[in-house]
Chains A and B, each alone.
Chain A
Amino acid sequence: MRVAIIGAGVIGLSTALCIHEQYHSLVPSLELEVYADRYTPHTTSDGAAGLWQPYLSDHGNLQETLWNKETFDYLLGHLGSPAAKEMGLFLISGYNLFTQPVPDPSWKNIVLGFRNLTAKELELFPGYSYGWFNTALMLECRSYLPWLTNRLTQRGVKFFHKKVESFQEVSGDGVDVVINCTGVRAGELQPDPELQPGRGQVIKVLAPWVKHFIITHDIESGIYNSPYIIPGSEFTVLGGIYQHGNWSEENSAQDHKTIWENCCRLLPALQKAKIVQEWSGLRPARPWVRLERETVRHGHLQAEVIHNYGHGGFGITIHWGCAMAAARLFGSILQEKKGASPPQPRL
């Protein structure tokens, strides 16, 4: 049985791993293939700082909150393992700052040690009158994606450097199931007006004295349009740009200025930090994640597709829960194929 995963960001690679882990012993003929035109370090995932943190509100989307929790617990379980360093996984504490009191987030009991900030702590952040402190996780994709790639390679998964133009292209080639993890460009395979780029820009600096993440929020301007500072294992990421509908992957001088001035105001010592890199990426934004099966027909032929895209700015945060959900969908496809009598002619 051939399964093609399109997309090699955090979603594509983790979904591939999850499916292989769960089904390779049940389906001896299982062959997984990854198709992507961009691999690490050139995926959207690679540009992300890697902080596990969902948006402030899940808009009643309990499904997504559950997937976030599954991801956090899965990663937490790997913290003490020898693989943690190679995965780019570590604990980190930090601050979420607001200009007014806000309700506690859906994830307050998922992270460790969630609490409100004390008055003295707020003195550190003039202009902010309310906030949270908690310990969460970092998962740096420039380590995690190579780690996933190694695990997949060990398992015999094949990788192809190729831009897939249609589902039919792979299914017509004899692939039984297609897993669509194409992120922001999913619309090129199948139009999806709900999917829009949420353009972000970040500045990577050397600021090793910063040990906490600091994420500010401006309810008016919306998520990620307010400065944030996220220290990684080597660089500190400065950000605070979210432009809905902007497809440009070019760095903008105006955005650079916005990020730099706002972050230096937040942490004056950053003025001394050395700038190492600048990067822009497109968050695959959608009102909710598209995680569902679809039978794609072309003439009298059909193929099973599992969509797993639209994770916005919380792909790393939610990836494993989604990978497991996609694996369950894959399982149901297997069930049906077992029960099905004459196999359908493939596209």
Chain B
Amino acid sequence: MAAPKVAVVGAGVIGLSTALCITETCPSCSVTVLSDQFSPNTTSDVAAGMLIPHTYPGTPIHVQKQWFKETFTYLFAISNSAEASEAGIHLVSGWQVFKNTPKEELPFWSDVVLGFRPMSEAELQKFPQHRFGQAFTTLKCDCPPYLLWLEKRLKATGVQMYTRKVADLWELHSEYNVVVNCAGIGAHQLVGDEKLFPIRGQVLKVHAPWVKNFIRDGDGLTYIYPGIHRVTLGGTREKGNWSLSPDPGTTKDIFDRCCSLEPSLRGAQDIQVKVGLRPTRRCVRLQREVLSQGGVKLLVVHNYGHGSGGFSVHRGTAKEAAHLVGECTAALQGSSSRAKL
């Protein structure tokens, strides 16, 4: 058969990294990215892009760890190369602090990040309301730079990208052999996944270039993540809230919470407010599906539902999705050669 035509729906970190992995594992595939939004207007652009994994209740821990490790290793190499600044990948050290000692003192990812250890008494003195903490060094993917860098890499391999709202995967069946669904929160409507729901996050992106370390409250609600040009202050986790409009009361609340962790933030300038809907699911939907309609088949690979852990596992899930695409194209080869008999 001619070069398999693969459409990737979605141009956030999942869509773009999946498209890139597909070009790596299937050089003969013709890959096209279709999305109604591109950077800087994706959910990924709102996120800080910190490599601190979220735990999916429905996925075995060893799988999540593998995804994270794969992603960390990949980004670690970029951060160490001449492309680091263009790709927006940089190391950042800091602290995760807890008001109450967590049940699990060693998270599953503690040996993947760098230098993980409990905080010393002296370090904890900076956080009088917190009794326990962890210090480590991890990576941050700044967006838009990272997404733009992925787009650049894709274009260099000949991948076409189009702004297009796909309302139904079947729209694509005549033009493409395989469709990869990286629609994130859009999958709720696109494939009618009732198990997918938003967890709304409001963040502030401020100018505070003297903040060099990250600080995260172990409850996941308050965090300070220094990026290349701005510091992301967060946040909220509002289950089922679909609103993309910033809430001023929330802005003040986030700012106050972050200032109590890091008082110097009172001097932060140029506060920008952003909202993103984390595409949340018990587990990432990473699987093949064969859709059927009137005797016509459509091969689909789903890769969505990464919730608050998108950046942390993106490369690992992208590779797995690319592998599934490989299975699809192999199946297509098989059936097309059978058809010739």
- Interface contact A79-B126, CB-CB below 8 Å: yes
In the assembled complex, how far is the CB of residue A71 from the closest CB belonging to chain B, in whole angstroms?
Answer: 16
- Interface contact B263-A209, CB-CB below 8 Å: no
A269 at the interface (CB under 8 A from B): yes
How many angstroms between the C-alpha atoms of A92 and B209 in the bound complex?
Answer: 12
B310 at the interface (CB under 8 A from A): no
- Interface contact B115-A210, CB-CB below 8 Å: no
Number of residue pairs spanning A and B whose beta carbons lie under 8 angstroms apart? 99
- Interface contact A269-B209, CB-CB below 8 Å: no
Contacts of B82 in A (CB 8 A): 268-269, 271-272
- Interface contact A80-B126, CB-CB below 8 Å: yes
B135 at the interface (CB under 8 A from A): yes
In the assembled complex, how far is the CB of residue B281 from the closest CB belonging to chain A, in whole angstroms?
Answer: 32
A96 at the interface (CB under 8 A from B): no
Contacts of B29 in A (CB 8 A): none
B252 at the interface (CB under 8 A from A): no
The B-contacting residues of A in range 24-45, CB under 8 angstroms, are none
> B196-237, CB under 8 A of A: which get 1 and which 0?
000000000000011111000000000000101100000000
The A-contacting residues of B in range 94-117, CB under 8 angstroms, are 94, 114-115, 117
Q: Give the one of A79, A120, A123, A231 with max B CB within 10 A.
A: A120
- Interface contact B114-A118, CB-CB below 8 Å: yes
How many angstroms between the C-alpha atoms of A233 and B212 in the bound complex?
Answer: 9
- Interface contact B209-A208, CB-CB below 8 Å: yes
Nearest residue (CB) in A for B230 is A208
> B227-252, CB under 8 A of A: which get 1 and which 0?
01100000000000000000000000
- Interface contact B80-A115, CB-CB below 8 Å: no
How many angstroms between the C-alpha atoms of A120 and B115 in the bound complex?
Answer: 9
- Interface contact B85-A113, CB-CB below 8 Å: no
Nearest residue (CB) in A for B262 is A80
How many angstroms between the C-alpha atoms of A208 and B90 in the bound complex?
Answer: 10
- Count of A residues near B, CB < 8 Å? 38
Size band of the interface chain B makes with A: 35 or more
A275 at the interface (CB under 8 A from B): no
Q: A80-B126, A113-B119 are in contact. Are A269 and B83 (CB under 8 A)?
A: yes
- Interface contact B263-A135, CB-CB below 8 Å: no
How many angstroms between the C-alpha atoms of A118 and B93 in the bound complex?
Answer: 14
B84 at the interface (CB under 8 A from A): yes
A189 at the interface (CB under 8 A from B): no
A121 at the interface (CB under 8 A from B): yes
B163 at the interface (CB under 8 A from A): no
- Interface contact A268-B114, CB-CB below 8 Å: no
In the assembled complex, how far is the CB of residue A212 from the closest CB belonging to chain B, in whole angstroms?
Answer: 7
In the assembled complex, how far is the CB of residue A17 from the closest CB belonging to chain B, in whole angstroms?
Answer: 21
How many angstroms between the C-alpha atoms of A181 and B160 in the bound complex?
Answer: 66
How many angstroms between the C-alpha atoms of A139 and B122 in the bound complex?
Answer: 20
Partner of A233, one of B80, B117, B137, B210: B210
- Interface contact B212-A92, CB-CB below 8 Å: yes
How many angstroms between the C-alpha atoms of A121 and B88 in the bound complex?
Answer: 20
Partner of A90, one of B115, B142, B210: B210
A81 at the interface (CB under 8 A from B): yes
A93 at the interface (CB under 8 A from B): yes
B86 at the interface (CB under 8 A from A): yes
Q: Give the one of B85, B90, B137 with max A CB within 10 A.
A: B85
B131 at the interface (CB under 8 A from A): no
In the assembled complex, how far is the CB of residue B49 from the closest CB belonging to chain A, in whole angstroms?
Answer: 12
> B246-289, CB under 8 A of A: which get 1 and which 0?
00000000000000000110110000000000000000000000
- Interface contact A113-B114, CB-CB below 8 Å: no
- Interface contact A210-B264, CB-CB below 8 Å: no
> A104-142, CB under 8 A of B: which get 1 and which 0?
000000001101011011011000000001010010000
A185 at the interface (CB under 8 A from B): no
Q: A90-B264, A234-B209 are in contact. Are A268 and B117 (CB under 8 A)?
A: no
Nearest residue (CB) in B for A82 is B266
B120 at the interface (CB under 8 A from A): yes
B91 at the interface (CB under 8 A from A): yes
Partner of A231, one of B88, B122, B137, B212: B212
A296 at the interface (CB under 8 A from B): no
How many angstroms between the C-alpha atoms of A78 and B92 in the bound complex?
Answer: 23
Contacts of A121 in B (CB 8 A): 114-115, 137
B157 at the interface (CB under 8 A from A): no
How many angstroms between the C-alpha atoms of A201 and B228 in the bound complex?
Answer: 26
- Interface contact B120-A112, CB-CB below 8 Å: yes
Q: A113-B119, A209-B228, A231-B212 are in contact. Are A85 and B264 (CB under 8 A)?
A: yes
Q: A80-B126, A211-B92, A269-B83 are in contact. Are A91 and B263 (CB under 8 A)?
A: no
> A222-256, CB under 8 A of B: which get 1 and which 0?
00000000010110000000000000000000000
A333 at the interface (CB under 8 A from B): no
Contacts of A210 in B (CB 8 A): 90
Chain A interface residues (CB < 8 Å from chain B): 79-82, 84-86, 88, 90-93, 112-113, 115, 117-118, 120-121, 123-124, 133, 135, 138, 207-212, 231, 233-234, 268-269, 271-273
The 7 closest A-B CB pairs, nearest first, are A269-B84, A85-B267, A268-B82, A90-B210, A209-B90, A233-B210, A93-B93
Q: Given contacts A86-B267, A112-B123, A212-B91, list 13 more A-B pairs with CB under 8 A.
A: A85-B264, A85-B266, A90-B210, A92-B212, A93-B137, A112-B122, A113-B123, A115-B115, A118-B115, A133-B137, A209-B88, A211-B92, A269-B85
The 21 listed contacts between A and B (C-beta, < 8 Å) are A79-B263, A80-B263, A82-B263, A82-B267, A86-B267, A88-B210, A90-B210, A90-B212, A93-B212, A112-B123, A113-B120, A124-B91, A133-B115, A135-B93, A207-B85, A209-B88, A211-B212, A211-B226, A233-B210, A269-B83, A273-B85
